[in-house]
Structure 1
């Protein structure tokens, strides 16, 4: 179910990108502190890329990512990479180490692949929620009701509706 949830989320991102023009993708949004939808999408893509590209190595460091400007300026490149990750995501769970640079450059925490997938899903949903704010200026763009909404919120809303 976890991998399926990630795939749904990534496909939501692709569906959004297919509707945007490159100008809309790269337009600065005052509601996002002048960030672009492209910058938020690049950030989502690069974090999941860190996990997938370092799975075999077993050490994930989200701070040490490429910051590929093409991903935030060319929506088709973003789509291509997300599609690549959709295929690569199906991996077995295994122990990993998470490197973080809060206190030193060599701190490692024990984690695992599925836990990091959960982190990436939550991270993507968070950025989708921010992107959704910018989409208010683009009423022609259609997104799913779940875009940028945490699964727990969706469940809570269902319970309230009953």
Structure 2
């Protein structure tokens, strides 16, 4: 279910990118602190890439990601990587080490692949919610009702509707 949820989320991003032009993904939006849809998309893609690219060696460091400008300016490149990641997600759970320097110079935490997939899913949803704000300026774009909404919120809304 986790892998499928993440694939669905990546598919939502692919669907959005298919509708946008390269000019639209590079527009600055004041509502996003002058960030672009492409910047938010690149950030999400690169965090997931940090996990997938380092699965084998077991050492994940989200702070030392590539920051590939092509992913935020060329929708075809972003779509290509998202489609690639959809096929690479299905891996067995295993122990990983997460390196970060949020609270000190460098710290290492124990984690696992499935926990990091959940983190990436929630992180992608968060950035979708921000992108959704920008999409109000692009009324020709159609997104799913679940775009940018946490699964727990969707489930809660279903219960309230009953």
Indicate the residue corresponding to 1:30 in structure 2: 30
1:96 is paired with a residue whose SS is strand
Q: Distance in 1 between matches of 2:12 and 2:138?
A: 17
Corresponding residue SS for 1:108: strand
What SS does the corresponding residue of 2:97 show, helix, strand or coil?
strand
Gaps of 5+ in 2: none
Give the structure-2-normalised TM-score. 0.98
Distance 2:89 2:34 in 1: 32
Residue 92 of structure 1 aligns to a residue in which SS? coil
Please, which runs of 5 or more residues in structure 1 have no aligned partner? none
Structure 2: distance between partners of 1:59 and 1:143? 35
Q: CA offset at residue 155 of structure 1?
A: 0.5
* 1:120 shift after superposition: 0.1
1:11 aligns with 11
- What residue number does 1:61 align with? 61
- Equivalence for 2:92: 92
Distance 1:106 1:153 in 2: 34
SS of 2:44's equivalent? Answer: helix
Map 1:48-127; keep pairs closer than 5 Å.
48-127=48-127
**How far is the alpha carbon of 1:103 from its aligned partner?**
3.4
Match of 1:20 in 2: 20
For 1:77 and 1:18, the matched residues in 2 are separated by 11
> How many Å apart are 1:85 and its aligned residue?
0.5
Secondary structure in structure 2 of the residue aligned to 1:103: coil
Size of the alignment, in residue pairs? 162
Distance 1:48 1:103 in 2: 22
